[in-house]
Amino acid sequence: MARRRRQAHELERVLGANALFATAYGNVGSSIYYALGVTAFFALGLTPLVFLIAGLFFAATAATYAEGTVNFPEAGGSSSFARHAFNEVVSFGAAWAQMLNYIITIAISAFFVPHYLSIFWEPLRQNPWDIVGGAVVIVLLVALNIVGIQESAKVNVLLAAIDFATQVLLVLLGFVLVFSPHTLVHNVHFGTAPTWSHFLLAVPIAMIAYTGIETVSNLSEEARDPVRSIPRSILMVAIAVFAIYLTLPMIALSAMPVKHGVTVLGLNPPKGFAADPVLGVVENLGIHQGALLSALKIYVGLLAATILFIATNAGVIGASRITYAMAGYRQLPAVFRRLHPKFKTPWISLVVFAGFISILVLLPGRTNFLGTMYSFGAMLSFTIAHASVIQLRRKRAGEDVPWKARPNLRWRGVDWPLFAVIGVLGTGLSWLDVVIQYPSTRYAGLGWLGAGFVLYVVYRRRILQVPLAETMRAPVEYGVAAALEFRSILVPIASGYASDEAMDFACRLAAERRASIVALTAIEIPLDLPLDAEFPEDVREANDQLDEARAIGDSYGVRVIGRIARTRNIGRAIVDEAIRRQSEIIVMAGPRRMRLQHGRRQIFGDAVDFVLRHAPCRVMVSTPRERAA
C-alpha cells in the first residue's frame, strides 16, 4: 500500500482546470488560421470591432456552458442541457446542429491544412489541389480512428502551449513593426466598406472563432472536480481567445489595410491571403531579411498545418461520439452504435458522417460557404444552450444546485440568468441574420435540419413506435457471456471503507473484459453551506484517494477515471453518477468496522444501503478482509 501511495503522488492530476484549458484552447485557438480571413472578407476595416462584439456574445455563451456543464457533467453540451430542460425533440435539434458543426469543422480544418503547407508547393493554395489535399486528410483520419489510434493528450497540451505562444509573439512583433491606429481609423468607411448588411453578417461568421467551447463539455465526464475546474477552465479559454482575437486583427489590418474597398487579407489566392491569413500576417510584418522571413513562414506554416490536422481529428472524434450518443438515446438508428468486429470503434458513423458527408461539404471548395454554414449550426446550438439554461433556472427555482454563473436578476422567486438572456438574443438574431442574408446557407442548413427531423420522426414513430419527446436509452448490447460482460464499472471510494479491495476486484474484472473504471469519491457538504464551498483539506484527501485508485489501475493496465462529487447525500451522488455513466455494475465496499444502530448490528453503511435500494444496475459489495476473518 505504501508503494502505491508513493506512486500515486507522482501521478499528474489529470483533467483539472489547466488540462481542460489546454485541450479546449487547442481546438478553439485553431480557428484563427481560417476565421481571420473569412471574417475580413465581410467586415473589412471593422474586423477588430466585429471580433469584439462576437467576443461579448462568446463571454455570455461561455457562462452558459460553464453552468450547464457543472450541473450536468456529461458529454453532449447543448443537447444534454436541452434534454434536462425541455424534451428529447429539442435535444435532438441541438445534437443535429452540433453534428453539422463537427462536419464543418472537419471540412474547413482539413481544407486549410494544404493552404499552410503551400510554403513547400504553391499549387496547394488553390483549387483543385486544396480540395484533394483536404479530402486526403479526412480519409486518413477516418481510417486511423476506425483502427483506433488515438492522439496523445500530452502532445495536444504541448502544441496548444506552443500555438498560444506563437500567436502572442506575432501580436508583439506586429505592435512593434506595423501597428498603426491611423491606418485602422482610415480603413473604415461606414455603410460602404463594409456595407451594413455585410457588417451584420460578419458578426455570426466571426463566432466561428469561438465555437470549440463544446470541447470542455465533452471532456467534463473526466474532470476531477467539475464545480471548480470547469468554470475556471472556460474562463481561461475565454480570456485567452478573446485577447488574441482582439489584437491580431488589429495587426492584420495595419499590415494589410483596406484599399479601394478590399483588403488582401480577405481575398482568395493568388491575389490575397484568405486561404492562409496568418501566413499573410507574417509576410506583411515588414521583416525584410530573406532567411529570417523564410524561416518564420516555414515555422508558422508547419505549426498551423499541425494544429489544423489535430482540429480535424477532434472533429472526427466529436462526430463519432455524438452519433454514438444520439443512437444511445434512440435519436438515431442503432446501426450507428455498431462497433467494428475487430477494432471496437463506431466505424459506420465514422464513415458516413466524418467521412462521406464531410468530403461532400468540402468538394465545392468555397471558404465563405463553409464559414456561413459553420455559423448556422453554431448559432443554433448556442441559442438552444442559452434557452435551456434559462428554462432550467425556472424549473429548478428553489433547488440546491452545484453552481450558478453570474450576473443574475432575482424576479418572482427565480434567479434569471442575464448572461443567458443576452446570449439567446445575440446568437438567435445572428442565426436569423445568416438564414436571411445567405441563400445558399439558408437552403443547405434548413435542408439539413429538415432531413434530420424526418429521419427522427420516421425512426421514432414507424420503427420504435415511441413518443417523440420521451427520453429513452438503447439497451446495452452484450457480447459472449452476457451476464458477466461489464464494460463500464463504477467504484465509489472513501476513507474508512475497504476501497482498495473494491478497486482491486474491479480492476481484475475490467482487465479481463477491457472495461473502463470510474473511481468516485464524494464530499458531503452541510446543508447550511453552498455546494461550491471551499473544502481544501477534503479536496486534497479526495485527490489522494483518486490518485491511489489510478495507481491500482495502472498496476493492472486498466484506465481509471477519477471523479469528485460535491453532494448532500453520498448515496444519491453514487446513484446519479451510475445513471449518467450508464454503468453496468457498481463495485463498492462496506465500512471496515460494523457499528450498532438501535441495538442491532448494521452490516452496511447508509450510503451502501441507499445504493442497494436505488441503483440502476448491479451492485457488488466487497467484504473487508478483517471482517471476513
Please write the tens of the pLDDT for every residue from 230-244: 888 888 888 888 889
CA gap 431, 377 in Å, rounded = 8
* CATH 3.40.50.720 holds for 482-628: no
Between 392 and 30, the more confident residue is 392
Check residue 556 and give its pLDDT: 85
Give me the pLDDT at residue 604, please. Answer: 53
Select from 625, 225, 246, 204 the least CA-distant residue to 437: 204
- Cβ–Cβ contacts within 10 Å for residue 159, how many? 20
DSSP state at residue 127: T
Question: Rounded to a whole number, what is the largest CA-CA distance in the chain?
Answer: 91
- 604 vs 36 pLDDT, higher one: 36
pLDDT in tens, 502-541: 888 888 888 766 677 899 998 888 888 888 788 888 888 8
Per cent of the chain over pLDDT 70 is: 88
Contact 221, 34 (CB under 8 A): no
Of 607, 509, 495, give the one whose Cα is nearest residue 543.
Answer: 495
* Confidence check: pLDDT of 333 > 60: yes
Average pLDDT over residues 353-375: 89
d(CA 136, CA 139): 5
Which residues make up the CATH 3.40.50.620 domain(s) of the chain?
A: 482-628
Section 580-596 average pLDDT: 72
Q: Which cell numbers hold the place of 34?
A: 481560417
Rounded (10°) CA dihedral 391, 393, 397, 399: 120
d(Cα 527, Cα 457) in Å, to the nearest integer? 44
More confident residue, 510 or 491: 491
Please compute the mean of the pLDDT values over residues 417-428 and round it to a whole number.
95
3-state secondary structure of 401: coil
- At 252 the pLDDT is 95
Average pLDDT over residues 253-271: 91
Residue 624 vs residue 552, higher pLDDT: 552
Task: Name the 3-class secondary structure at 557.
Answer: coil
Distance from C-alpha of 565 to C-alpha of 521, rounded to nearest angstrom: 6
In the structure grid, which three cell numbers stand for residue 231, read together? 468554470
Q: Decide if pLDDT at 435 tops 50.
A: yes
357 pLDDT higher than 70: yes
Report which of residues 333 and 496 the model is more confident about.
333
Assigned C-alpha cell, 321: 461520439
Residue 5 in this model has a pLDDT that exceeds 60: no
Q: What is the DSSP letter of 262?
A: B
DSSP states along 573-620 = HHHHHHHHHT-SEEEEE-BSS-EEETTEEE-S-HHHHHHHHH-SSEEE
The residue that leads in pLDDT, 472 or 220, is 472
Residues 447 and 454: their CA atoms lie apart, in Å, by 10
CB 397 within 8 A of CB 413: yes
For Cα atoms 358, 359, 363, give the angle at the middle one, nearest 5 degrees. 125
For 117, the 3-state DSSP assignment is helix
pLDDT for 588 beyond 90 = no
Q: Write down the residue that cell numbers 428554462 correspond to.
A: 391
Query: Which of 264, 286, 288, 285 has its CA nearest to residue 276?
Result: 264
Angle, CA of 572, 575 and 579, to the nearest 5°: 135
pLDDT of amino acid 628: 38
Alpha carbons within 13 A on the beta-carbon side of 85: 24
pLDDT surpasses 70 at 418: yes
Q: How many CB atoms lie within 10 A of CB 483?
A: 7
Average pLDDT over residues 10-35: 70
C-alpha cell at 282: 507574417
**Which amino acid does the sequence have at 247?**
T
Determine the pLDDT at residue 605.
Answer: 67
Positive/negative CA dihedral, 273, 278, 284, 290: negative
Q: Which fold has domain 2-455?
A: Amino acid/polyamine transporter I (1.20.1740)
Closest CA relative to residue 8, chosen from 555, 562, 557, 549 = 549
Confidence class for position 417, pLDDT limits 50, 70, 90: very high
| Three cell numbers, residue 202 | 460578419
Count other C-beta atoms under 10 Å from residue 85's C-beta. 24
* pLDDT, position 512: 64
9 has pLDDT over 80: no
Compute the average pLDDT of residues 237-255: 90
Mean of per-residue pLDDT scores for the chain: 84
pTM score: 0.84
Least confident of 138-142, 339-343, 361-365, 426-430: 339-343
Write the CB contacts of 439 (distance below 8 Å, at least 6 apart in sequence): none
Say if CB 330 and CB 472 are below 8 A apart.
yes
Confidence band (pLDDT; 50, 70, 90) for 625?
low
pLDDT in tens, 88-114: 999 999 999 999 989 998 999 999 999
Mean pLDDT over 489-514 rounds to: 79
Q: Given pLDDT bands bounded at 50, 70 and 90, which one contains residue 305?
A: very high
List, for residues 145-182, the tens digit of each pLDDT value: 888 765 656 677 788 888 889 999 999 999 999 999 99
